A and B are shown apart, each in its own frame.
Chain A
Amino acid sequence: MSSSYAILCKIFKKDKFVVSELIAQLIGVGHQYKDGPEIFKGVTFNIEKGSFHFLTGPSGSGKSSLLKILYLGLKPVWGTLNLFGEDTLKMKPTLLPLIRQKIGVVFQEFKLLDHLKVVDNVSLPLRVRGLETRRGYKHAQELLDWVGLGDCFEKYPPSLSGGQKQRVAIARAIITRPQLLLADEPTGNMDDEMAMKLLHLFEELNKTGTAILIATHNQRLLEKLPYPQFTIKEGTIVKLITKKVR
């Protein structure tokens, strides 16, 4: 039994974890940008298969950095991060794409490719996995219809509004039905109606077994969907269990 695993068992007062049910394990994770202040430290929590969490905290508390660590865009300065049973700090670099293929990410700044059509942006993760373009387009069309952008198939991202770009980014993140979906302020550019619609889409995806972690500071959203919250407070994580009221 590895020491990090033993610590986790001790923290969560469990004899053992069913590893296959665990999507992510963060043990004492901390981060600090070069020459900057410590953003967070000793962050320990786990994300289980099919779970739905919000990640909250004040601006600058490190929500985006924590998500970045989770999608392996950033290496934590301290601690251990296990994703899908792999210790990400010790794993072979060749495994990195395979791990990332299991994660869908909705970026705050969308990260759409302006030179590609909307349909190509959405079907990009499928193309990367080797699916032929035509089949990728079919999936993309279905998703674009669902997010209300069926008529934007042939458009290019620069011609879309902020909300539309957000929806394209969401469609791209979920097209592969990832095991873990990370979303950084996914409803930041949307009205409440569209925000709720998209969150219901996340709920649907969650029902299929996808673990979801949404970073947000939208209080109305948190009130309407009272899922458990991880809150970054004074550089560390506090888990708030909220009873779901419907």
Chain B
Amino acid sequence: MRSRRDLPLKKDIAARFVPKIVALMVYLGTLCLVFTLFLVHSTHVWEKQFTMDLSIEIPIFSETPPNTIQSRVLELLNRTPGVRYATAVPQKEMATLFRSLLGEEVSTGLFPLPVIIDVSLDGKERIDTHVLETHLKNISPQIQLVDHRAWQSQVSNLIHTSVWLALIVAFLILFAALATTIFATRTSLLIHRQVIEVLSLVGAPNSYIATQFQMNAFKQGLLASSFGSFFAFLTFWGLSSLLEKVGFSFIVNSSFFFYAICIFVFAPFFTACAMMLSVRWAVMKALRI
């Protein structure tokens, strides 16, 4: 591209703070997007791992022995349409669950453990949990049926809302960065109005003047947002290493890592292009008046 340097935009006082603001906005925006991505991937992983739809708790202290109740419950469940499978949680696994709640010092052998039956539904047929509960109560009135789908749906809704909120925040951050750029451009147009007037009088079309502004905005935007994105990447890396040390995997899977890197790489280009276009729009609009 031909060198166009008729406007002293590099020494522009009005635009001096813009790269710093853009860098900060890109830093926050990319972290926000990566957090959104984390939520999306985590939800996906969690939903995949979560196979249990209902659970049935068989009381320990009952007139009928728990084993008898268990076999009658399993028999009922296997007869019920829409149930993919129903299995009792092994006592060893139950002991592990209780140990994590009560601590290693407490021996689970000291007290009887309840029997839990996990029920997975095939999703093809709708199960009326009230009817099922009535049948279960006929076996033993103390039997408890817990429908996990209700709270799973609530958690899922909450996560989806969080994802949308995070996306809106990221959008607002981008909007704020662009608005700052546009305001700085308008000030810059006022500062350089004499130069612009001369350019216009010697026959420069508005697009010639706008090109100078937009190229400057693109260079500034690319540099500033690269800095912002780089520091966001460092933060992401530091955070994931830190969480790794405390036993929490932030990088949920390889595809999350790939998309996160894509965000860090493409955010500067996207921001620079958005800045360039918004500056061009602002200049063309101002010069048309």
Contact = CB atoms under 8 A, between A and B. Distances in A.
B204 A128 contact: yes
B198 A97 contact: no
B6 A124 contact: yes
Contact of A98 (B3, B199, B203): B203
A230 to B, nearest CB: 22
Contacts of B4: 127
A71 B202 CA distance: 10
B201 interface: yes
A129 interface: yes
A133 B203 contact: no
Interface residues of B, number: 20
Contact of B202 (A98, A100, A132): A100
B203 A128 contact: yes
Contacts of B200: 97, 100
B81 to A, nearest CB: 73
A101 B199 CA distance: 11
Contacts of B6: 113, 116, 120, 124, 127
A111 interface: yes
Interface residues of A, number: 24
A126 to B, nearest CB: 9
Given A111-B198, A113-B195, A97 B203 contact: yes
Contacts of A94: 205
B208 interface: yes
B2 interface: yes
A221 B227 CA distance: 62
Nearest to A133: B3
Contact of A133 (B2, B8, B197, B202): B2
Contacts of B208: 128
Most buried by B among A93, A98, A111, A128: A128
Interface string B181-198: 000000000000011011
Given A115-B8, A127-B6, A73 B201 contact: yes
Contact of B201 (A105, A129, A130): A105
A228 B80 CA distance: 111
Nearest to A131: B2
Contacts of B3: 133
B288 interface: yes
A53 interface: no
Contact of A113 (B11, B198, B203, B288): B198
Interface in A115-146: 115-116, 120, 124-125, 127-130, 132-133
Interface string A201-234: 0000000000000000000000000000000000
Interface in A92-106: 93-94, 97-98, 100-101, 103, 105
B203 A101 contact: yes
Interface of B: 2-4, 6, 8, 11, 194-195, 197-206, 208, 288
Given A94-B205, A111-B198, A172-B202, 12 more contacts: A97-B203, A97-B206, A100-B200, A101-B203, A111-B194, A111-B197, A120-B6, A128-B203, A128-B204, A128-B208, A133-B2, A133-B3
